[in-house]
Amino acid sequence: MSVILILYLCADATRTNCQAVRAESWNGPHAYERCVDVALGLTQEMTAPNRDRHRFVCETLGEEAKPAEHKVQPAFIHQSFRM
Q: In the chain, where does DSSP find H-type helix?
A: 31-45, 48-53
pLDDT at 19 over 70: yes
Phi, psi torsion values for 31, nearest 5 degrees:
-60, -45
pLDDT at 76 over 80: no
Q: Are 21 and 75 in contact (CB under 8 A)?
A: no
DSSP 83: -
Highest mean pLDDT pick, 11-15, 29-33, 67-71: 29-33
Q: What is the pTM of this model?
A: 0.68
